[in-house]
Amino acid sequence: MPTRRIGDRTVSALGLGGMPLSIEGRPDTAQSVATIHAALDAGVTLIDTADAYHRDTREVGHNEELIARALREYGPGADDVLVATKGGHLRPGDGSWTKNGRPEYLKEAAKASAQRLGVEAIGLYQFHRPDPEVPYEDSIGAIRELLDEGVIALAGISNANIEQIETADAILGGRLASVQNQFSPRFRSSEEELRHCAAKSIAFLPWSPLGGIARAGELARDHAAFAEVAAELEVSVYQVTLAWELALAPVVVPIPGASRAASIQDSAQAAHLQLTEDQMNRLSATTSGEK
């Protein structure tokens, strides 16, 4: 698979988003492990997770533990995989999401994530979502401490605007490795952040790059240009979508979620799909109804 850069690490041009394997509607453990192994077989060397990717109250870190297990069972072939996890976003267990950007909490959460992942240093740790109750500078200060102490090898942020990207990079001393924002044909309000990251050579990781778990199946219906190009190339609309995102900038590394081996196997083919200038123009001209 073609590769891209996140900080000083080389990773596959497409990653695997682990969230569908641990939240509501998740598959059983055997299917989840098989999905992760299928991603590795396809050349994926980036897996995205978070301590908040779980379903029930007492299973914080479910997805981290699942990924760690799958990598152990895969064997030596998983040695080069970069596992990116996040902290600062929580699920109390009632289906809601809450935030905690307190520095002391983030440092505790990162160390707990490292333990669940079975690593001395987390490959990439990202502040999951700004907490309006905590100054952003304080939260990022904790990420810098984790980086300086060697608890994490690379630092990133998620759900950030341009001002926050600049603030984080300054506090981290120019060491901001990644920005993970929502981006897809349905949700394109992060295009400015994508361009900003491209100008600064910071990896941009679109989450829900196919429109989200509940909406991915509506891609062809809601975005005719993507369906048309898929028909022209005789590939899935998902491959076209991911190939379009990859072609927007060399810093883009989409992380499509998957709960079946066939899904990530199909997505992985997008890394090899070449779109013409005309096709790119038609796809990029598509407007989104959501911001």
Active site residues: 53
Return the C-alpha torsion angle 213, 215, 216, 221, nearest 10: 170
33 close to 75: Cβ distance less than 8 angstroms: no
Give the Cα separation of 219 and 87 in Å (integer).
30
Nearest partner of 286 among 236, 196, 225, 244, judged by Cα = 225
10 contacts 250 by C-beta, under 8 angstroms: no
**Rounded to whole angstroms, how far apart are CA atoms 41 and 64?**
20
The answer to whether 84 and 69 are in contact (CB under 8 A) is no
Q: Do 34 and 258 contact (CB within 8 A), yes or no?
A: no
Task: Give the whole-angstrom CA distance, residue 240 versus residue 235.
Answer: 7
